[in-house]
Amino acid sequence: MHYTYTEKYTSEQYNNLENNYDSLRVLNVERNGNVIYTYKDKGNTFFGVYDCQTRQNELLYSFETNLQVISCSVNRERTLLAVSLVQSTEEGRRNELQPGSKCLTLLVEIHPINNVKVLKAVDSYIWVQFLYPHVDNHPLSEQRLLLISEEKYIEQFHIQVIQEDGNKVVIRNPGHLPRDRVAEDFVWAQWDMLEQRLYYIDLKKSRSILKCIQFSVPENFTLMFEAPLDISLNDSGLKLVNFGCDYLQDQEKLSTHPTLCVFSNKTGILCVCYSPEFDPRKQITYSVFYFHKGYRKTFTPALGSVDSHVAKGLTFLNLDYYVAVCLPGHFFHLLDIQHPDLICHSLFMTGKNATIDLLPPSPLQSLPGALVLDGSSGTLSRALLDLPHLLQLLWESPLDCEKMALLHCALACGRHSPLLETQVIQWISENISTCHSFDLIQEILVASSYWSIQPERSNADELLPHSSVLSWNTDIPGLTFVTEEIALPLMKQVHSLTDDWAKLNHSLDCVKYAKPHLHYNNSVIRREWNNLVSEENRGKRRSAAYVRNILDNANKVISNLEARRLEPRLAPLFQEEDRHQRLLMGLMVSELRDHLLGHLQGVDKKELEQMVLDYISKLLDLICSILEASWRKHELHSWTLHFDRRGSAAEFAVFHLMARILEATNSLFLPLPPGFHTLHMALGVQCLPLHNLLHHIDDGVLLLTETAVTRLMKDLDNTERNEKLKFSIIARLPLLLGQKISQLWDHPMSSSIISRNHVKRLLQDHKKQPRESVIDKTSFRVEFLPLNYFIDILTAIESSNPALYACEGHDNVDAKFVEEAALKHTTMLLGL
């Protein structure tokens, strides 16, 4: 697996520095993405900031001495600089700053350069971090600074600032800075710069308890949850994660310690990745605690080639919806942390496919926003999955589980790239029969539609299906894993939760109270749609307002779809009314809208309506795109809808693909683009022998639309084969449609069909009564007594019930027509 590294912060990137300094090191990354760095020149120690927005550097402060820097942070306005350091000579010997101290923590006024205040002078290391609350761009009157001590406590300083002489910012009452004790007696801590959260672990009776503190405005800080972790941690030392580059810790020693990382995102995900002490001579395992799902998975991967270099520990990288777990040269795992229920949604690779470009062998720090910090070189990079390489693996992978994982990864990471989706659809159209464990068409329809509405913004993650697969029991090569239930986090703050905290709390409630899956499925509208179609075929009508509302929903979907379509379609779709598909489309809009309204709280109705339209439009567009990919492949660009010619091999291939699309959508009960069945029928007439064609119609593979049958009657002449085809088609139509279509075919067989339907309708409620004929037989041209008697009965029924002719489709059909049709048909059959 390759990585794309962008925004790589090395000495070459700082373009307004006079020289490239080998001593340049990244110290910290602040919430706004700005990078704090230091470098040395001519015995001086300089501190600078790289603004990621303007891509310019700014010198913050300098000391006229050679210093060894532990930690550094700058406030949002760049008026205060906090720095923790030790003073050392060129030979590396430490000079005591004052008796008993080895670390000095300073607070510097830098706008303009003014006072320097000593915050700590202690014999233990201190790390510093300014808080960046979500506020407007107005300067804050109070700045808050965290101090993390090697002695296992964290303090928060409240720093009041005032402006003097215009823009001069100074500390108010620097001799007395209020402070709070945030945490103490912890063995591990991690800082989330984007969400301004502190995760830490303390040991209670040999149990590891994970806690989270949220810093926000106007609250000071809030303990959000406590969660027990079934892991082995000891009290031998302190391990910090994401508090800047820690150059003082012994990397060789740390590489053998347990690795622990917490990952979260705005959809309410909370997971902990844990790897015990690393020993390449032993079996390697790691665990992932999916707290938002209520279980943990412990993975034991097979290692790659023994000739590969051995890295100094596992690396966990945060890639938003995924966590990458890699041991360079041995394996690369891409874990779907948003949807971990199905193991096939995660990618597990070994050998040559697990190579990672430019990834150093030393452990890396994973920062939010997919940033990666290499502590050994002080290099900050942004890690992105290389989508072209994902597609290459998708084309080459022989395993269904890898195809599933790669498909989902490509759709999730490239959902804003139309070109990538086009390439995925092309792959599907050419590999339609290569997967045996799942249906490729179903999977892209469900997954791509899910990602198209960006569930992290809509809070619809648990309401819309993300996969067509419900279970996966096939083993993953090179991997064993165990799933265990875990104790859920105890939320300490449950009132007025916002955003991802509310989503996490909702997920925990679903696990805690074993709430059923709320994923929408189309099965609930199957019965209503079948009833509507059946009623229309029998000539019955529902409430006009009800049907009109459903069809209006369908019109909105089609208008929404066409408004986002820039290029003309290759396949002749959306060129007819196709009432049945519009009914299904409109019912889906109503049902999906009601489903989301019933479970989403606080979502604007117009926004929800648009979400529903976008979702169904995406479904239809995907079906069109899959069909057009095959259309383009087989060069059917100038194809027009005709029934009167034989089909080619290319048209048969498209017909087969349409049959697969129909099979996929039928089982999910999804609507099809209007015109799909007409096009499919046209290709079937051209490509299939008559008996196969009729078999496909009887099995429901081909559906007889009014447009298709009308074109068939007009396009085909009356050869023997075509007569059989037309008769067979008309005989399979619903009564009302059959009567309407029969009148388009001027043929004795058509008249016979019309007569049969007319007689059936007249006699279905007729009760035989003894009576004498009152009809003047001299009016008939042929003396054929059985027929005369039958026509006598029909005429009597017609004359006694004129209302029978009010139904559409019965114009000019009466007993006289039946008599003439019977005689013509008999003559034809006898060859007279």
Rounded percentage of the chain residues whose pLDDT exceeds 90: 34
pLDDT band at 626 (very low <50, low <70, confident <90, very high): very high
Peptide bond into 734 cis (omega under 30): no
With contact defined as beta carbons under 8 Å apart, do 196 and 130 qualify? no
| Pairing mode of beta strands 186-192, 239-241 | parallel
CA distances from 341 to 293, 294, 394, 616 (A): 8, 11, 22, 25
Q: Give the least confident one: 307-321, 412-426, 472-486, 617-631.
A: 307-321
Q: ∠ CA(33), CA(36), CA(38), 5° rounding?
A: 160
| Residue pLDDT, tens place only, 43-96 | 889 999 988 888 889 999 998 888 889 999 999 989 999 999 886 544 444 544
Measured CA to CA, the distance from residue 245 to residue 247 in angstroms comes to: 6
Residue length of the chain:
832
Residue with structure tokens 């300094």?
21
Confidence class of residue 201 from pLDDT cuts 50, 70 and 90? very high
Distance CA 108, CA 45 (A): 14
**How far is Cα of residue 140 from the mean position of the Cα atoms in its chain?**
39
* Cα Rg of the chain (Å, integer): 37
376-389 pLDDT, tens digit per residue, is: 666 777 788 888 88
- Cα 359 to Cα 2, 355, 390, 676: the distances in Å are 9, 9, 17, 49
Q: Which residues pair with 107 in a beta bridge?
A: 82, 117
Asked if residue 308 has pLDDT above 60, the reply is: no
Is the pLDDT reported for residue 340 higher than 90?
yes
Categorize the per-residue pLDDT at 644 as very low, low, confident or very high, splitting at 50, 70 and 90: confident
Write down the pLDDT at residue 541: 75
Which of 380, 387, 350 minimizes the C-alpha distance to 366? 380
Structure tokens at 225: 């949850």
Q: Is the pTM of this model over 0.95?
A: no
Indicate the range of 395-409, 483-497, 778-792 predicted with least confidence.
778-792
250 vs 51, higher pLDDT = 51
Rounded to whole angstroms, how far apart are CA atoms 194 and 215? 11
Task: Please work out, in degrees rounded to the nearest 5, the angle formed at the alpha carbon of residue 815 by the alpha carbons of 814 and 819.
Answer: 120
What residues form DSSP beta bridges with 71? 84
Mean pLDDT of 185-197: 92
CA distances (Å), origin 279, targets 252, 276, 284, 426, 622: 12, 9, 7, 44, 48
Give CA separation, 289 vs 443, 486, 823, in Å.
Answer: 27, 8, 82
Nearest CA-CA partner of 338 in 419, 436, 284, 411: 411
CA distance 725 to 732: 11
Higher pLDDT pick, 792 / 549: 549
Using one digit for the tens of pLDDT, what is the confidence trace for 682-713?
999 999 998 999 999 999 899 988 888 888 88
Helix (H, G, I), strand (E, B) or coil at 39: strand
- How many Cβ atoms from other residues are within 10 Å of residue 78's Cβ? 16
Confidence category of residue 784, pLDDT binned at 50, 70, 90 = low
792 burial (CB, 10 Å; 0-12 / 13-18 / 19+) is middle
Per-residue three-class SS string for 331-378: EEEEEECCCCCCHHHCEEEEHHHHCCCCCCCCCCEEEHHHEEEECCCC
Q: Give the number of other CB atoms < 10 A from CB of residue 811.
A: 10
pLDDT at 3: 40
Cβ atoms of residues 424 and 391 within 8 Å? yes
Cβ density class 427-442: b for 16+ within 10 Å, e for less: bbbeebeebeebbbbb
CA distance 649 to 660: 17
Residue 517 reports pLDDT greater than 60? yes
- Output the pLDDT for position 488: 93
Cβ(114)–Cβ(170) under 8 Å? Answer: yes
Per-residue HEC secondary structure of 517-564 comes to: CCCCCHHHHHHHHHHHHHHHHCCCCCCHHHHHHHHHHHHHHHHHHHHC
CA-nearest of 100, 95, 87, 107 to 147 is: 107
Distance CA 50, CA 39 (A): 13
Q: For the residues 528-540, what does the mean pLDDT come to?
A: 83
Please determine, for residue 327, whether its predicted confidence score (pLDDT) is greater than 50.
Answer: yes
